[in-house]
Amino acid sequence: MSAISPSPTVENSTRSATSRSVLMCRPDFFTVSYRINPWMHPEEPTDTSLAVRQWEVLYRTYVDLGFDVRLIDPIEGLPDMVYAANGGFIIDNIAYGASFTYPERQPEGPAYMDWFRDNGFEVRHPANINEGEGDFLLVGGVILAGTGFRSTSNSHRELAQVYGREVVSLELVNPDFYHLDTAIAVLDDTNIAYLESAFNGKGLARLRGLFPDAIIATEEDAAVLGLNSFSDGYNVVIASRATDFERQLRERGYNPIGVDLSELLLGGGGVKCCTLELRR
């Protein structure tokens, strides 16, 4: 993968980078002690110290790109709290809180909402099950919203009411890609990449209509959560093993930066799962 550009604002003939503000949670208590997605196998050992070291590489990558990186304190007994993207969804300083599907993760919702409130965001408590930016992705002025495994379709209507923006509902059908951010990567305000087999026919037709020039990911790259990436419009931080995705990004004028989060993949998360964008 290419080296990080020394400047936080990089321009070339087609792409430009804009510094981001993100929230992360250090995986001090990461382990796999239960199974709520197909990636998790609690009978197999995990290495918390390795997870922390890999996470620190992601953290330093963002800092080197000039991002404003904020941290929420991890809570013992909440091993999935490292997947900060699930903690809420934020646009225009309004934080729509998460309400998790599984009891094991439900305490994360109030913890993240407390952080949002303490840091000056206007918090909206959810009336419906949703898992934050794991299932809600902003592309320009439109919100893509996933359902089928975690967030309910009722949360999509609630989301539209909170933000007054168009919400496009997409049904996920492959349990390996149970959150929208595992099946779609937002590259900038007009471009995405996605995995075709993750969606039902209606959703796939909608994506093809909205994004006719999208990057189509391979099954192999999706299987290492290559689409679970984070972009500033030019630099795209991805799973280092997503080699064809890297190639396609480079051909489109982006700068892919690979990181290894293989230990956190054991919990079903990657780059984007560890990254919640804070949009003031």
Antiparallel, parallel or unpaired: β 136-139 and 142-147: antiparallel
* Residue 109 near residue 127, CB atoms below 8 Å: no
Counting Cβ atoms within 10 Å, is residue 276 exposed (0-12), middle (13-18) or buried (19+)? buried
Q: Is 25 a catalytic residue?
A: no
Q: Is 179 a catalytic residue?
A: yes
- The HSE-up count of residue 254 (CA atoms within 13 Å, CB side) is 29
Amino acid letter, 110: P
Counting Cβ atoms within 10 Å, is residue 164 exposed (0-12), middle (13-18) or buried (19+)? exposed
25, 41, 156, 273: the catalytic one is 273
- Residue 152's contacts (CB-CB under 8 Å, 6 or more residues apart) are 128, 129, 130
How far is 29 from 76, CA to CA, in rounded Å? Answer: 6
How far is 240 from 237, CA to CA, in rounded Å? Answer: 9
41, 125, 156, 179: the catalytic one is 179
* Residue 216 near residue 193, CB atoms below 8 Å: yes
28-42 burial code (b ≥16 CB/10 A, e <16): bbbbbeeebbebbee
Give the DSSP letter string of 26-63. --TT----S-SSTT--TTS---HHHHHHHHHHHHHHHH
Q: Which residues are catalytic?
A: 179, 273
